[in-house]
Structure 1
Amino acid sequence: MDLKRTNPGLYYLQRTLFYLLVIVIAVYLLFPFLWAVLTSFRGSGDLFLPPLQFIQAPTTLSNYAQVFANPSFQRGLLFSLIVAVGSVLVSLLFGSFAAYALGRFRFKGKQLIMYIILAVSVFPQIAVLGGLFTLIRTFELFNNPLGLILSYLIFTIPFTVWVLTSFVRDIPGELEEAALVDGASPLQTLFKVLFPVMMPALVTTGLLAFINAWNEYLFALTFTSSNRTVPVVIANYSGASQYDQPWGPIMAASIVVTIPLIALVLIFQRNIVSGLTAGAVKG
């Protein structure tokens, strides 16, 4: 039944309420980020002005200049990039093999393994912090990017395996059968046939794992003392005195750290959206 023709008043009321709800949700989600952007372009003396005066205050780039001139922030960016990229590459490598085995082969204990992976993925970080600290100290990986990469695998690999396993199950079996008929081995089938089809899922899981590793704070704070990641560096920002809280530089650093994530989403949005539900066999 066409509500627009039968009851146009109710139809336009529903559309109006729907768009009002969308606007309210958008404002609620975007307002903190927009306020952080405004704060990053305001001087220290303007931060405690009334809202209208704060919005109309003159723009300055001194906060960004201070952030980029900070050696700790520069090292933190490099260290975070190394740790996040390393975590993503390792988790995708092992996660792909595990997802292929769990999604394609039948063996005893398969469901139990999946439930264990799911349980590990939802386990709180603080619960495993003590055991991880003992391992990191035993293997002398304190202040080492390898130590953070290995610790981040606790939450990146379970997520990667779970998502990729669901995707592998939906890949038509005709692709593997055709590859096996042509004489391909299971590894050749995985690398030359399934990996190209899994590319949208690999991009999606890799991007989400990168975001989690890039923003992680607790492990980075615990397992490092000098080679800090960006979130820890930002949290340790200090002002000219113990009573001075540099909100402007903190917001500027936060915006700088967020820009790479937004850029990655914009670059790979086509890969993320397209192909996830598309069939792999034509005809």
Structure 2
Amino acid sequence: MKRPPGRGGPLSTLVGIVLLALMLFPVYWMVNTSLQPAGNTLLEEWLPLHPDLGGYATALRDQGRNLVTSLSVALGSALFSLAVAAPAAHAMTRFRLRGTRAVLLGVLTTQAVPTVVVANALYGAYNDLGLLNSHLGLVLADSTAGVPFAVLVLHAFMRAIPEEVIEAARVDGAGPLRVFRSVVLPLSRNALITAGVFAFLLAWSDFLLALTLTTTDTVQPITLGIYQYLGAHTTHWNAVMATAVLASVPAAVLLVLAQRHVTSVATGATVE
């Protein structure tokens, strides 16, 4: 009897379980450590039979403001990236513009520029413009990664929108702005969500830009907070790991909520 396509045997299942366990072990250890009393991690129990939430209380007290900063910067970067990338992608897709391929090549090339180079280049400009240690400065800096990615995703998706749909809207009297707002954007919902999610994640996980463009602790994202917190609390691993758990929750929740849209874009499916 032939084995159904796409299904492995017991060995494949075992290998998959082992690989999954190896990948999830750091997450388990992080959560387990966060629920232990303060002290040396080498003395921890393998299971938090007597969970202690003291680490979370310390993390919220010391890092709560940094979590809010990261959330506001990441949301701002995602919204700004979409606001810039969506019209740009639409223009390059529907209008006969010279140099479109060169622009796309330039956008793709920016993805290969190391973040440390961008950070060093921005520092001098930010110092002159007074954008150091500001939410707006971090939003704009993080958008240097979010905008190119969003342009590439949205351009690829908008090219797949049938021209007949656009022409039908124009026949009904819709102008270019109305077509973009009422036809293209709704049809590109999956791509917009996907680009927004990844722009959020890029800003949420940023470390080098934050380290370079913030010189005080007044505006400090959680990645930089964990870095400095680790050096100051090396004996309080429960608080350090609790901070890491709290920093992981928004990204994990966002990915779970948006997974259907991300999968649709990855498989080339259109909007419902």
Matches within 5 A, 1:10-25: 14-25=8-19
| Count of residues paired in the alignment | 268
Where does structure 2 lack aligned partners over 5 or more consecutive residues? none
The 8 Å contact of residues 95 and 161 in structure 1, kept in 2 or not, is answered as yes
Pair 1:150-2:140 in alignment: yes
Residues 28 and 223 of structure 1, relative CA distance in 2, 3 Å threshold:
same
Matches within 5 A, 1:163-202: 163-202=153-192
What is the CA RMSD across the aligned residues, in angstroms? 2.3
- Determine the structure 2 residue equivalent to 1:8: none
The 8 Å contact of residues 85 and 154 in structure 2, kept in 1 or not, is answered as yes
**CA distance in 1: counterparts of 2:184 and 2:233, whole angstroms:** 58
Residues 179 and 86 of structure 1, relative CA distance in 2, 3 Å threshold:
same
Amino acid at match of 2:14: L
- Determine the structure 2 residue equivalent to 1:123: 113
30, 42, 56: which one pairs with 1:36?
30
The secondary structure found in structure 1 opposite 2:69 is: helix
Aligned-residue sequence identity (percent) comes to 34
The 8 Å contact of residues 55 and 238 in structure 2, kept in 1 or not, is answered as yes
Residues 21 and 182 of structure 1, relative CA distance in 2, 3 Å threshold:
same
The secondary structure found in structure 2 opposite 1:55 is: coil
The 8 Å contact of residues 188 and 271 in structure 2, kept in 1 or not, is answered as no
Amino acid at match of 1:45: G
**CA distance in 2: counterparts of 1:279 and 1:31, whole angstroms:** 36
Offset at residue 267 of structure 1 (A)? 2.3
**CA distance in 1: counterparts of 2:10 and 2:136, whole angstroms:** 53
- Determine the structure 2 residue equivalent to 1:218: 208
The 8 Å contact of residues 171 and 280 in structure 1, kept in 2 or not, is answered as no
Amino acid at match of 2:2: L
Offset at residue 108 of structure 1 (A)? 2.2
42, 47, 52: which one pairs with 2:41?
47
The 8 Å contact of residues 59 and 239 in structure 2, kept in 1 or not, is answered as yes
**CA distance in 2: counterparts of 1:35 and 1:238, whole angstroms:** 17
- Determine the structure 2 residue equivalent to 1:107: 97
**CA distance in 2: counterparts of 1:260 and 1:183, whole angstroms:** 43
**CA distance in 2: counterparts of 1:211 and 1:280, whole angstroms:** 23
Pair 1:203-2:193 in alignment: yes
Amino acid at match of 2:9: R
Pair 1:277-2:262 in alignment: no
Pair 1:67-2:66 in alignment: no
- Determine the structure 1 residue equivalent to 2:84: 94
TM-score, L = length of structure 1:
0.87
TM-score, L = length of structure 2:
0.91
The secondary structure found in structure 1 opposite 2:47 is: helix
- Which of these two proteins has the greater Rg computed from alpha carbons? 1
